[in-house]
Amino acid sequence: MNKTNLITKIKTEPNIRNRFVAGLVDYIIIYTVTFILIYAIGEPNDEGGYSLNGLPALIPIIFWLIMTVGLEIGFGATLGNLLVGLKAIPKNGTKRKLTFGESFKRHLLDPIDMFFFGLVGIITIKNTDLNQRVGDLWAKTIVVPIKSQTELK
């Protein structure tokens, strides 16, 4: 089966609610662990809070990288996407997991896509032919239901 036929059989849908829930789940986990780390190993600062300085400040960044990029390239989806039955694949429809670069590009733009409660992401998903958010456009990826991948086997 050539790539052109494969892409026509993969149905992309906006899945706004599922994608919102997936992002919410992922980032609740990331923020919770980050705040716990800050209070557990952080140092008190002059403003009455805690902060991470030096090498410990890299721990939340590494955790974010593992939770988003690591899980996506290792298992094909983040925890949130697995929970709602979605996965990201290359835009050309190739049945493979994303590369590090593709996944990193997608998630590096999460703050833009999630700006103002996800409004930027919702607008781009609804106004692109393949229902892509800004990160997907840059990384050349699409988000599809996991079941669509199993139907193609």
pLDDT tens for each residue of 91-143: 987 888 999 999 999 999 999 998 888 899 999 999 999 999 999 999 999 99
Distances (CA, A) of 134 to 29, 86, 149: 22, 17, 23
Stated pTM of the model:
0.83
3-state secondary structure of 8: helix
Q: Give CA–CA dist 7/91, Å, rounded.
A: 8
DSSP single-letter state for residue 77 = S
pLDDT range class, residue 85, cuts 50, 70, 90:
very high
- Output the pLDDT for position 149: 63
Residue 7's pLDDT band (boundaries 50, 70, 90)?
Answer: very low
DSSP string, 21-67: HHHHHHHHHHHHHHHHHHHHH-EE-TTSSEE--SGGGHHHHHHHHII
Q: Work out the end-to-end distance of the chain between its first and last CA atoms, rounded to an integer number of angstroms.
A: 11
| Sign of CA pseudo-dihedral 57, 59, 63, 65 | positive
Residue type, 73: I
Residue 120 confidence (pLDDT):
94
